A = this chain, B = another copy of it.
Amino acid sequence: MSKLKLGLPAGSLKESTLEIFKKAGYNVNVSDRSYYPYIDDEEIECVLIRAQEIPIYVQENILDVGLTGKDWITEMSADVEEVAELTYSRSGLRPVRLVLAVPYDSGIESVKELEGKKIATELVHTTRKYLEENGVNASVVYSWGATEVKPPVLADAISELTETGRSLKANNLKILETILVSTPRLIVNKESWQDSWKKKKIENMITLLQGALFAEQKVALKMNVSENNLQNVMEMLPALRKPTVSNLFEGGWVAVETVVDEKDVKDLIGKLKDAGAEGIIEYPLNKIVP
């Protein structure tokens, strides 16, 4: 039997990745702490490894397909196909950024002033390349973690991944510039992408993952409307998906159902009530395939 070898990230992306795969219809069971979890698709073999390692294993054809961040794809200069961007909805958080940061009281205000300085980072190549592009000569050294505590004793500046900037601030560091904005990507080995069976399987996976991601930001709304108010209510509903109209048991009334952006609901509900909608209910969705 043909098998698709899939690499999933074991670190900070793990929980949200497994959740989105579950919503997409792929149950990955990691209950016994194995690095080779069970997935309920007999044609897929699953490996949990560090996000850093996935680009190389995909490039080397040890894995057919992997999910990792743009940051590590860039750092590794991996020669792979990047076939989908998967912007996990994370409760409104900004995406991960790789930033240059220096101590507040360092007096350094721009990347140019890093000339001749020591910079600690986990993404050495990406940082070096950025500095070169900016015409800056600096010593970039690999940091095995706790990078944000290195300045000013062990480094003059750092290049570090951050979501909220909070950890930087707590260490009295200010952000100079953003080197890279990173989101999760699905990457595929170039040979595997030529294999029609694998390609079709991966494309189906993308459809399902994006359907699940899309649904995370939507909800379904259902409401009762008297026939008189139907036109008014309809004008308020966004055109995301054609609304359904069903009869109520009680004559003269219809039920209208549609899908809207979750973030719009807060404002929409009041307007719908004003336009004559009653008994508005909202329910969750697993997946939307437009």
Using CB atoms and an 8 Å cutoff, list the residues of chain A in contact with chain B. Answer: 10, 25-29, 31-32, 34-36, 38-41, 47, 49-50, 52-53, 56-57, 62, 90-93, 118, 141, 143-146, 149, 153-154, 164, 166-167, 169-172, 204, 207-208, 211, 215, 219-220, 224, 234, 241-250, 253, 255-257, 259, 262-263, 265-267, 269-270, 273, 278-290
Interface majority SS (helix, strand, loop, mixed), chain A: mixed
Nearest-neighbour CB distance to chain B for A32, whole angstroms, equals 5
Determine the distance from Cα of A246 to Cα of B284 in the docked complex, in whole angstroms: 20
Nearest-neighbour CB distance to chain B for A271, whole angstroms, equals 11
Q: Is A10's CB under 8 angstroms from B244's CB?
A: no
Residue in B26, B90, B257, B279 whose beta carbon sits within 8 Å of that of A29 in the complex: B90
Q: Is B290's CB under 8 angstroms from A93's CB?
A: no
Given A146-B49, A266-B25, A288-B281 contact (CB < 8 Å):
yes
Q: Is B215's CB under 8 angstroms from A242's CB?
A: no
Determine the distance from Cα of A50 to Cα of B273 in the docked complex, in whole angstroms: 36
Given A53-B143, A262-B25, A284-B286 contact (CB < 8 Å):
yes
Which B residues are CB-close (under 8 A) to A93? Answer: 29, 31, 38
Which B residues are CB-close (under 8 A) to A257? Answer: 255
Which B residues are CB-close (under 8 A) to A57? Answer: 154
Given A154-B47, A288-B279, A289-B280, A249-B245 contact (CB < 8 Å):
yes
Determine the distance from Cα of A145 to Cα of B11 in the docked complex, in whole angstroms: 11
Nearest-neighbour CB distance to chain B for A91, whole angstroms, equals 4
